[in-house]
Amino acid sequence: MASGSADQGNAVCPYDPAHQHTLRCRCTHNCTTAATCNKSHHTLYSGTVKDVIFGISAPCLLQRALAAALDKMPEDMQVVTIIVNSDRHAEAMRGEVWTLLQIDRVDPCGDFTAKLIFQHIVSGRRTRSHNSGHVADTRRILRKLRLEDNGASGAAGADPCKLLLHPPEHECDCARCQYTRLRKQMCMWTSTAPDLHYIYMQYAGRDIHTLKVGTTVPCTAFVAGCQRLLTNYVKLYENKICHLDLHEGNLTWAYDASAHNARLDLKFIDFGFNRMFDSTEPRGNSCPDCGAIDVTKYFMQICNLFTEPLRSWHPVEYPMFHLCTSLLLAPLLLAAVPNATWTRAHHNARVKRLAALTLSASAREVARFGHIDAACTAFFATCPLDHNDPDSPPCARHDFAHDLGELWHDIQHTYANVRRHLLPVWTRVCAIVGAEIALVHFEADGTAKPLPNLDARLCHGGDAFTHSDAYSHLFDVFRTEFYYCQELDLRTVQREFDTFSLATMMLEKLPTQETALREDVHRHLLHSDSYESNKTKLHNFAAGGASRAL
């Protein structure tokens, strides 16, 4: 870095906008205030809502308050800076900040979550109390980054994040592209001057994707760490905090093998889905008390076949519900078709056939359920809507059955680690959904009640029913019955969602030769036969389900 420059001042870290350095950056390279720190020391992440810098990047007007907050933290604590455009995402962050403050009360020392250190919203505009907001500081950072790009540390091959004079056509998640995205964001912040929400968190460790059980960490230490993780999750659950996105990137680990009592510490990070607000969602999708939306129903988009792939950490019953419901609702559309009949008896027979599917059934065999007769085939083959407009999306109505057949194939591939549970879950899904449709969608004489006109939605192929009233009602009933609730209890639904995610993580990490431990996960965390056992299975596993391995 070109030290001594007027633009750069004496600050050592490129993400420090101060002319005189005041804080060491606490990046993952443990740079001091006297050592040179270049931008490649700072892992970056740019998401839809948040931009993340591993290390401290603080506007000058925040540095004194942040320094006071850091004085209360361990000297060796590494820090992550999260920056959110409040003008665009204030509503999205409202729930997350509330969650972070709640977690700080449950886990004040940051034993099993990333510790919240400090957070503040900085205006982009000049105010009476401050000469300027963050804009001048952001410009100074951009100049420093440009100096570094053009200096020795930006030489070809020396820096994985060197300046992109010729940005790639297709961005990915490599360090170079993350740097490009952050630069673009910073340029936008200087031109539009939005309010920026700065959040400073403890760096919680490497994500669990890098953990190799039996190599980097002994199996016994991993099991003990998981038991503590489940016990700590129960603490969060008892304080009405869930996660709902427990993939490997949102669980971190740290292991000190040299310690006298070496132990694996696992932590939860990124609770952005615990409580979310969105004014564009219908009121019926939100909690009447706090206004937060039912994340498992809408935001996760578990069954949106066109926009989201299946996620192995999401409960398998969700895509199975989508598949079963779509196949059983489709014949009800024929009630409005001349010379087509569909009765409760036909429906019950169809439910039995669906429930009898085996894992050897092909995608084509499942797709045949989408075409019960010639009238049904013709109904889905021809769309009455005009699709000549070049700006309108293509019609996928004729792909309805094909999409659902492929979903059956994708379920088996995505959930290979829990294959033994697939057929029992599928049988139960068919029984619950089939019974509710038989009760609600047929007249007393057994004839089918016609569904409302769904022509426009049918153009979405396998997602045709996803946002219909019938689908929404069935989903609420299904979750109530499947999780043994007396009525729809979102806390139970959310707990079961996270339990499945934690169980699949453990199965992914445990070596295949650890058959006894893997069996404990299957029996204690994935198999349920009563509401009472659901409530206690986390406690049971954490307390002794895998104790014989320790």
517, 520, 503, 1: which is closest to 230 by C-alpha?
503
Q: Give the HSE-up count for residue 518: Cα atoms under 13 Å, Cβ half-sphere.
A: 12
pLDDT digits (tens, 9 = 90+) for 445-462: 999 998 887 778 888 888
Supply the pLDDT for residue 293.
Answer: 78
pLDDT of residue 164: 45
Task: Give the pLDDT of residue 298.
Answer: 66
What CATH number was assigned to the domain covering residues 39-202?
Answer: 3.30.200
Closest to 378 (Cα-Cα) out of 349, 400, 407, 347: 400
What does the pLDDT read at residue 9? 43
Q: What is the residue-level pLDDT of the chain in tens, covering all 550 positions?
A: 333 333 444 457 899 998 776 788 898 888 877 777 888 889 998 888 899 999 999 999 899 999 999 999 998 899 999 999 998 888 878 888 999 999 999 999 999 999 999 999 998 875 544 455 789 899 999 998 888 887 644 444 444 444 444 455 566 778 888 888 899 999 999 989 999 999 999 999 899 999 999 888 999 899 899 989 999 999 999 999 999 999 999 999 999 887 667 889 999 999 988 887 777 666 666 666 677 778 887 655 555 666 678 889 999 999 999 999 999 999 888 776 766 788 999 999 999 999 999 999 999 899 888 776 777 788 888 888 877 777 777 888 888 889 999 999 999 999 999 999 999 999 999 999 999 999 999 999 999 998 887 778 888 888 888 888 899 899 999 999 998 887 888 888 899 999 999 999 999 999 988 898 898 889 888 876 655 566 677 777 777 655 444 3
pLDDT at 301: 54
Does residue 423 contact residue 320 with C-beta atoms inside 8 Å?
no
> Do the strands 196-202 and 44-46 form a parallel or antiparallel pair, or are they unpaired?
unpaired
To the nearest 10°, report the CA torsion of 64, 144, 76, 82.
70
Greatest Cα pair distance, the chain, in angstroms, is: 88
Show the tokens assigned to 125. Answer: 């505009």
Return d(Cα 159, Cα 156) in angstroms, integer. Answer: 7
Taking 3-state DSSP, the helix, strand and coil percentages for the chain, each rounded to the nearest 5, stand at: 50, 10, 45
- The size of the chain, in residues, is 550
**Can you give the pLDDT at residue 155?**
42
For Cα atoms 197, 201, 41, give the angle at the middle one, nearest 5 degrees: 100
DSSP string, 301-336: -TT-TTT----TTS-THHHHHHHHHHHHHGGGGGGG
pLDDT tens for residues 417-454?
999 999 999 999 999 999 999 999 999 999 999 888 77
List beta partners, residue 264. Answer: 255
The burial of 468, by beta-carbon neighbours within 10 Å (0-12 exposed, 13-18 middle, 19 or more buried), is given as middle
Strand bridging mode 79-85 / 116-122: unpaired
Contacts of 46 (CB under 8 A, 6+ apart): 52, 178, 181, 182, 185
Tokens for 123?
Answer: 């205006």
> Residue 264: its pLDDT value, please?
92
Contact 285, 293 (CB under 8 A): yes
> According to the 3-state scheme, what is the secondary structure of 382-449?
CCCCCCCCCCCCCCCHHHHHHHHHHHHHHHHHHCHHHHHHHHHHHHHHHHHHHHHHHHHCECCCCEEC
pTM across the whole model:
0.87
| 279/259 Cα distance (integer angstroms) | 50
Is 548 within 8 Å of 520 (Cβ atoms)?
Answer: no
Token pair 């299946």 in the structure block, residue: 310
Position 461 scores a pLDDT of 87
